[in-house]
Structure 1
């Protein structure tokens, strides 16, 4: 999702809307930070609210709800306000479908998904309310901008992944973190209610836990 967010920023910057591009990246970063703090509080501190099924808030729901409405709206602005509004609603529909998939697939509880989606929609709304028609008549995106978008989507994430993994692993060592929390979302066979099980695992076993949880 971050490469798609980069496409939005590149599109705005290419059109000379530097302030909108900066505001988009800043607001998305702020929303991501909010969710990240909550996720780290659970994974490393064991902080959660079982009464409302909040453990690890969904970052996927956040990014989907924030990026797709803005991406589709910005893409449609070149064709007018109606296309921009259609793009916005299409993006919201994608976000809702993603949220349903996260809950149905038991990747997150409904509460975790709604919180992440709510933060994402706030980010999208703060950007869309500032929206104006992007392109003057007769102007269209250049091929070079499209090539740059492809680079952002494919090449950069592939190059940065090993670096990110290494820094993350080293950072855990620096802070003396040796254990992390994980949770499994299941269903009680008798009552049919959602049951969440929280376990504390040593770091070497944490990655293997994805096979069990």
Structure 2
């Protein structure tokens, strides 16, 4: 059971989910939805920054809501809700075209399962996991609503080459960053930033 828990936790890690998001964005761009892919990546990046900011706020200043047992947003829950529904919508859109957006439901179900997993095994409280999950849903909603029923790779010359280049550049940067995150550097960077800005010598301990 312990190995299974570690595996599921790893699959929801930024080092896995961010490259997956990059792959989806690249596919959307090649499917003629470069603008949509670009907007999604921007929303995705903002969601990641908000999660990091919530963790830094707690580490440096103790910003929390003890009334609802909240310390910081769950990154795993946010990533699952931001990526899985879009992945499902992209892969199953051809098979489940009606009603609109129905192809995203399996991915949404996976994100809910990740939320339940995080709470059940004590990685996060319900408020932290739910907050991250809702943030991820906001990031993925635009793609789910606007994506054509069956996106497929396109060689349409009308797709702006500049947009594709920007998408490719952004995906490359984020993909490389995911390798950095895989070694725990992301958490260390957030902690260092929180300590530097708050003037503390050590982060506030995570309370449960």
Which position in structure 1 is the counterpart of 2:54? 38
In structure 2, which of residues 85, 110, 124 is the aligned counterpart of residue 69 of structure 1? 85
The aligned runs of 1:100-119 (5 Å cut-off) are 100-119=116-135
Query: For the Cα contact (< 8 Å) 2:97–2:150, is it kept in 1?
Result: no
CA distance in 2, matches of 1:121, 1:171: 27
Which position in structure 2 is the counterpart of 1:158? 179
RMSD: 3.3
Which position in structure 1 is the counterpart of 2:205? 182
CA distance in 1, matches of 2:96, 2:24: 17
CA distance change for structure 1 residues 13 and 87 in 2, over 3 Å: closer, same or farther? same
What is the CA distance between 1:47 and its match in structure 2? 1.0
Q: Deviations over 1:180-203 (max 9, x none)?
A: 12324xxxxxxxxxxx2xxxxxxx
What is the CA distance between 1:76 and its match in structure 2? 2.1
What SS does structure 2 have at the residue aligned with 1:181? coil
Structure 1 portions without partners, runs of 5+: 142-147, 185-195, 197-213
CA distance change for structure 1 residues 177 and 78 in 2, over 3 Å: closer, same or farther? farther
Aligned residues: 173
In structure 2, which of residues 141, 144, 149 is the aligned counterpart of residue 125 of structure 1? 141
Query: For the Cα contact (< 8 Å) 1:61–1:98, is it kept in 2?
Result: yes
Query: For the Cα contact (< 8 Å) 1:76–1:83, is it kept in 2?
Result: no
Larger radius of gyration: 1
Structure 2 portions without partners, runs of 5+: 1-16, 156-167
What is the CA distance between 1:171 and its match in structure 2? 5.2
What SS does structure 2 have at the residue aligned with 1:99? helix
CA distance change for structure 1 residues 103 and 167 in 2, over 3 Å: closer, same or farther? closer
CA distance in 1, matches of 2:67, 2:145: 35
In structure 2, which of residues 29, 37, 62 is the aligned counterpart of residue 13 of structure 1? 29
Query: For the Cα contact (< 8 Å) 1:73–1:83, is it kept in 2?
Result: no
Deviating more after overlay: 163-172 vs 114-123: 163-172
Deviating more after overlay: 19-28 vs 83-92: 83-92
Normalised TM-score (structure 2): 0.69
Normalised TM-score (structure 1): 0.68
Query: For the Cα contact (< 8 Å) 2:54–2:72, is it kept in 1?
Result: yes
CA distance in 2, matches of 1:112, 1:91: 20
CA distance in 2, matches of 1:8, 1:68: 10
What SS does structure 2 have at the residue aligned with 1:48? coil
CA distance in 2, matches of 1:162, 1:173: 20
